[in-house]
Structure 1
Amino acid sequence: MSQGDGKRRGVRPTDLVSLGALTTLVPRSVLDEAIAVTEAHEVRVRKLPAHVVVYLLMALCLYADDDYEEVAEKLTGMLSYLPGSRWQAPTRGAITQARQRLGPEPVKEVFAQLAAPAASADTLGAFLGRWRVMAVDGFVLDLPDTPANIEEDSAAQFASLVGTAARSAEPVRVAAGRGVRSRGPKELRSRVEEFGKDSAGGDETVFPQARVVAISECASHAPIAADMAGCWASEQTIAFSLYEQLTPGMLLTADRGFYGFDAWRQARASGAELLWRISASLRLDHLKDLPDGSWLALITKPRLRMSRKEKLRAAARAGAELDSAEAVVVRVIDYTVPDRDGEEIHLLTSILDPSDATAHQLAACYGQRWEAETGIDQLKTHLRGPGRILRSRTPELVYQEIWAYLLTQWALCTLMCRAATNAGIDPDRVKFLGTVRIVRRSVTDRAAFSPEDHETLLSHTLERVAARRNLNPRRRQRTYPRSIKRPHPSTYRERRRSERGVRHPAPPTIKLLPPSTRAHPCPI
């Protein structure tokens, strides 16, 4: 087909551009809808229309080691073989201008429309009873050390924080120099922060950093909701806006840094169940021991008068209905793992009835939260590359690139989960990097193929992903010391070269601690 014939029939060469095996998961129809919703469509016919730029952004994530022009050649190069075609891959400057025209909002909208849990009822390890196990966690990404990323105001961060503050009666806590102070919506309006090098803990980072917080599915590692800001914003602040995207039937796990009374209420308002770790220093008011070794406790809104707290405790012990804006009854599970490091772990859950999930089941389920860490490792180490900074040199393009990485991560994890489910194996066994290589080959092989072949290509790709050569052996029982490879201000020490993981002969043993070890009753 010549270019002239294509134009007469309403088909342009760029309409044939696809993303190989990921095209069915990220279809053109969704791209067009997101572009229309965000009003990002081009005013005139361009060599790089908006939908091609979205595919190109995902391709840049798949080929993180290659430059703009090389990735564009891999994605669109086969168009030059069309009969009568004069296609030439776009230059670096053209790609940069196309990214600037598009902005971050269309990519964010595509992620919002597509990102959903990938596991089905047949997926191994995806559910605890009737609840889909999810996790919330955050990470930082290094950015180019450019004046724009350090000094330029970021409207996206402003909107994120003002939106969070507006939804919460409590002021938002943000970094201010080396300290942390509270700011309400009006104060935030007068202080729109850039990415900067001041972390939420008050330490200066080497590069400007963006902090990303995501809710992901533990079985597939697929992110289903995310938000981001500069590294000065805390994970708790960013996560607050994500809880409303939870749905009934989910069980959200979280590490101890995410707990707060307002955050708990915000997450529970979605209808999802919660299983959050809390600090051992958090003092809880004992209400009742349960037969499975757990116990009921009361959490109250901070800064309540002591007299009001006493009335709420008395009402809770009497079984009266409480105002959830002031107090909530929760279930507490205290346990240790003696054949590992023996650390005491304290969990809060909104599942109050032991017949729905026992203390042992919930304690074992909490270990699945570490799957979120595995998903972060897949994005930062295997997809982006170890120690690599992002490409984008301005805040707008930084947000755009991060949304593209999240969208690509979701598509890859969904592909792996579908393949594992079809093969009847745990998604943990599918090699992430091997899947990335399979998808890369499909991109270069299918750049100019007709859309009718996408379903067939996806089917063949699922078979390759679940093939024996792309599977890891079953996970061994191992533990590693909590340390970091890159020296920077952290609560964890730097890893020593002599440190190695420890293999264990059996799965971890959960030992419940008696409620008396928490020294209750005591003030909250």
Structure 2
Amino acid sequence: MLASHLTFLQEAQEPAADLSRLAEHLPYEWVERAVQATGTASIRRRRLPAEQVVWLVIALAMYRHWSVSEVLDSLDLVLPDETAPCVSKSAVVQARQRVGQAPLAWLFEQTARTWSQQDAQHHAFKGLSLWAMDGTTLRTADSPANREHFGAQGYASGKVASYPQVRAVTLTAIPTHLVSAIGFGRYDTNEMLYAKGLLPQIPDDSLTVFDKGFLAAEILCGLTMGGQNRHFLIPAKSNTCWEVTGGKAHDADVRMRVSPQARKKCPALPEFWSARAIRTVDARGRERVLLTSLRDRRRFRAADIVACYERRWHIETSYRELKQSMLGMELSLRSRTVDGVYQEIWGALIAYNLIRREIASAAREAKPLPTDISFVRALHMIQHEMMWAAMTPAYAKLPACLHRLREQLKSLPNVKRPGRSCDRVVKSRPARYAVRYLRKVP
């Protein structure tokens, strides 16, 4: 059972044979509470009860290159039955449909909230936990149900994208890259709406770094007004206008007017909102202005704030790790139904956070930063250890395997060459007609 395989992720040194106490990171009790709280627990005895289906969905994200049948057989997820050693594909589909997305969503929220709180105290920026909010998209299978529900990108020419897409906005912990919260759904829904839904989940005593697309009084004022000691850091747009009220040219206090449209939509907004504008020049000589609510110049120096913003760009790799490394560079998600897409996304997020949580635990022992450990190597290592556990009944060896896994993770630094910069590459537009290559005549 995958529940026992995830014993590799526990930190406690209790006897491994006690299978009632499962992984510390994802206790089996949480899975049981997830299916019970959402009313999806199995009443009759099944080969694939609801709890096993939850583990299956998580495992499908870790083994994206395998079919569902291969995952079931290789990880021994099906309860034994001598009369029927195999489970049909239709039975697996029906089991996933019975469970739905609710238990996975409940489990993600529970684990993300707990793990984020545990890691926040270890990686604070002058007493503030660090977060980043950004958006991304995921492609789904091109089925009529997915296209009708999620929609797709439209072009000026009137053409529509080949695949339906899911739009998502995530709240990610900058030090560990753990996804703390997410809002996703239809592609034509504005990112601002998803971002507003995530604001209540940002903890107090925090600094959230935004992409410039979220530069709006409704978002930034909603962050600072909705909690205690919650701050923002965001780059200004080229057309952002403000009035300087104090400070210096490179580190000024500014005031901006809230548009009448924004105040009509949200009457609680003030007429003006203030920020600190820090001018900086990047490695390529381009000038950038950073707006922040950290007004104390003695405690928060401009250089420290600029360095903190540079760390925000590293969370872009979390999207690459989730969409490319874990999902195996596949063109789209597996599921062809709307509920299956939601279920699959929740399972992928739980699996991603499990790997990130184990990396953070290994980093605390080896003393490097969690982002200095290779995610791809850690993913492959955990995959191999889970496979070994499925084939080895000697559970007494699990503590030794856990120790080996941690030691291997510590020795996998993700070394970055200093001063390296990668230019963004603009891909050539596909030609409308086939390209003809002329053969040279000797």
Which TM-score applies when normalising by structure 2? Answer: 0.84
16 and 277 in structure 1: CA distance in 2 versus 1, 3 angstrom threshold: closer
**Offset at 1:234?**
2.6
Gaps of 5+ in 2: 10-22, 431-442
Partner of 2:47: 47
474 and 329 in structure 1: CA distance in 2 versus 1, 3 angstrom threshold: same
Partner of 1:301: 258
SS in 1 for 2:347: helix
Query: Are the aligned partners of 1:213 and 1:235 in contact in 2 as well (CA < 8 Å)?
Result: yes
**Equivalent-residue separation in structure 2 for 1:139 and 1:29 (angstroms):** 32
Tell me which of 268, 287, 307 is aligned to 2:245: 287
**Equivalent-residue separation in structure 1 for 2:262 and 2:367 (angstroms):** 55
Partner of 2:277: 332
Query: Are the aligned partners of 2:218 and 2:269 in contact in 1 as well (CA < 8 Å)?
Result: no
SS in 2 for 1:280: coil
**Offset at 1:73?**
0.9
432 and 74 in structure 1: CA distance in 2 versus 1, 3 angstrom threshold: same
**Equivalent-residue separation in structure 2 for 1:462 and 1:256 (angstroms):** 38
Higher relative contact order (CA 8 A, sep 6+): 1
Query: Are the aligned partners of 1:20 and 1:457 in contact in 2 as well (CA < 8 Å)?
Result: no
Tell me which of 77, 100, 103 is aligned to 1:103: 100
**Equivalent-residue separation in structure 2 for 1:49 and 1:200 (angstroms):** 45
Partner of 2:90: 93
For residues 5-59 of structure 1, give each alpha carbon's deviation from its aligned partner in whole angstroms, at most 9, with x where no partner exists: xxxxxxxxx6965445344311111111121211111232211111111111111
Tell me which of 207, 227, 231 is aligned to 2:183: 227
**Equivalent-residue separation in structure 2 for 1:65 and 1:278 (angstroms):** 42
Partner of 2:205: 249
Name the stretch that deviates more: 455-464 or 408-417. Answer: 455-464
111 and 15 in structure 1: CA distance in 2 versus 1, 3 angstrom threshold: closer
Tell me which of 126, 132, 135 is aligned to 1:135: 132
* Number of residue-to-residue matches in the alignment: 406
Partner of 1:166: none
Query: Are the aligned partners of 1:135 and 1:215 in contact in 2 as well (CA < 8 Å)?
Result: yes
220 and 143 in structure 1: CA distance in 2 versus 1, 3 angstrom threshold: same
Identity of aligned residues (%): 26
The one-letter amino acid paired with 1:359 is: A
After superposition, where does 1:70-89 map in structure 2 within 5 Å?
70-76=70-76, 88-89=85-86
Partner of 2:314: 371
Partner of 2:227: 270
Tell me which of 404, 408, 411 is aligned to 1:464: 408
**Equivalent-residue separation in structure 1 for 2:144 and 2:98 (angstroms):** 21
**Equivalent-residue separation in structure 2 for 1:231 and 1:450 (angstroms):** 48
Which TM-score applies when normalising by structure 1? Answer: 0.71
429 and 256 in structure 1: CA distance in 2 versus 1, 3 angstrom threshold: same
After superposition, where does 1:77-476 map in structure 2 within 5 Å?
88-115=85-112, 116-117=115-116, 119=119, 121-122=121-122, 126-151=123-148, 194-198=149-153, 204-268=160-224, 269-271=226-228, 272-290=230-248, 293-303=250-260, 325-337=270-282, 340-447=283-390, 458-466=402-410, 468=411, 470-476=412-418
For residues 307-346 of structure 1, give each alpha carbon's deviation from its aligned partner in whole angstroms, at most 9, with x where no partner exists: xxxxxxxxxxxxxxxx854332211112112xx3222212
SS in 1 for 2:260: coil
**Offset at 1:236?**
2.1
SS in 1 for 2:119: coil
Query: Are the aligned partners of 1:133 and 1:252 in contact in 2 as well (CA < 8 Å)?
Result: yes
